[in-house]
Chain A
Amino acid sequence: MTTIPTPDLSHLSAQDYEHVYEPAEDTFLLLDALEADLDDLKAMNATLFLEVGSGSGCVSAFAAHILGSSTLYLSTDINARACNCTRRTGAQNKVTLDSIQTSFINGFHPRLKRSVDIICFNPPYVPTISVEASEAQGLRGIEGSWAGGSGGMQVTNVFLDMVHELLSPNGRFYLVAVKENNIPEIQERMKTLYQLDSKVVLSRRAGREYLSIVRFEFATST
């Protein structure tokens, strides 16, 4: 568990959590990974932080709290209620989160290429039948927070083909994954296709899920 306090979420109610993903072990593992890298992340002097699928806004608010006000915090979610919760979570924690309703980063100007310093994505990673994930993406409700289709990778894979274009040369990308997602295969593929090195920085069992945080960065030519 983190030693830095987790964001104040007391403004969110059970009613919000009927429609928006309630922070759980996966969320907290991501916070722990960010906290473990705190010195490095601070030293990056990040200009741009991006969270895809911000849900309650817990992760973005935590990042904004630990990294400070010299960074712009952008977040996206397909779920309108999630965007609203993210915005409110920012306000509740006295940080500003710029929340955008979109799928992944659609609608971002192409000049943002290679300029995002820190990216976080806790995707819908639960394996389901493929239609279930497609339908959940269309419904933009709570189902979209977990339904991951084949191998739990249907949604994540789309973003994995975008992230290299977005990440700044020294940037870092943190991805939440479960065992069923076949993490070694993801790592291999990202290396081969995009020269992104990766490392499993944290793992934890939570009930039936074996959760990991995978951190990606561009291979350095040393």
Chain B
Amino acid sequence: MVRLITHNILACHVKGCTSNNFPLQLQGVQIELREAEFNPEFLKTFLPKIEWKALVDTAKEARDTSLPLEQPEMLDDEFLKNLHHVLLEIHIEEGTMICPNCKHNYPISNGIPNMLLAEHEVG
């Protein structure tokens, strides 16, 4: 499954595509929600590795608007529960991720994102 935590660390790597190549936009996605164990410690340590704006925008594309536009300073329980849901419980099973810059399509099928490129596209 492509969880949004994984999506948040994937970027286009087509040869020459080095700016505005993140986050990959979701298109035609099929989403499943699956409960995961709530682990606030993990969320707190992972938070600095997250690109916040990318996460908020992508969550919107996955029809979740529970996250604040700015990352809050106070990590209260309600925020952490929303973050938990967005990062770890939204699973993209099918669909496409599109590079905002070069429009390369990265398919997701059976929950697996395919980041492979053809030989001539490799940087």
Q: Which residues of A contact B (CB under 8 A)?
A: 45, 47-48, 69-72, 74, 78, 80, 83-84, 87, 96, 98-103, 106-112, 115, 138, 140
CB-based A-B contact count at 8 angstroms: 81
Considering the complex, give the chain B residue whose CB is closest to the CB of A97: B1
Tell me whether A108 and B11 are in contact in the complex, defined as CB-CB below 8 angstroms, given that A69-B37, A101-B112 are known contacts.
yes
1/0 per residue B27-57: CB within 8 Å of A?
0000000001101011001100101000000
Tell me which of B42, B112, B115 contacts A69 (CB under 8 A): B42
Q: Which residues of B contact A (CB under 8 A)?
A: 1-3, 5-6, 8-13, 22, 36-37, 39, 41-42, 45-46, 49, 51, 88, 106, 110-117, 119, 122
> Do A101 and B3 touch (CB < 8 A)?
no
Nearest CB in chain B: distance from A42 CB, A: 14
- B residues near A101, Cβ cutoff 8 Å: 112-116
> Do B115 and A98 touch (CB < 8 A)?
no
> Do B116 and A47 touch (CB < 8 A)?
no
Considering the complex, give the chain B residue whose CB is closest to the CB of A140: B116
- A residues near B41, Cβ cutoff 8 Å: 70
Nearest CB in chain A: distance from B116 CB, A: 6
> Do B36 and A106 touch (CB < 8 A)?
no
Considering the complex, give the chain A residue whose CB is closest to the CB of B3: A98
Nearest CB in chain A: distance from B98 CB, A: 14
Tell me whether A106 and B5 are in contact in the complex, defined as CB-CB below 8 angstroms, given that A47-B45, A70-B39, A101-B113 are known contacts.
no
- B residues near A102, Cβ cutoff 8 Å: 114-116
Nearest CB in chain B: distance from A214 CB, A: 27
Nearest CB in chain B: distance from A83 CB, A: 5
- B residues near A111, Cβ cutoff 8 Å: 9, 49, 51
List 10 A-B pairs, Cβ < 8 Å: A48-B49, A83-B112, A99-B112, A101-B113, A102-B114, A106-B122, A107-B106, A108-B9, A109-B8, A140-B116
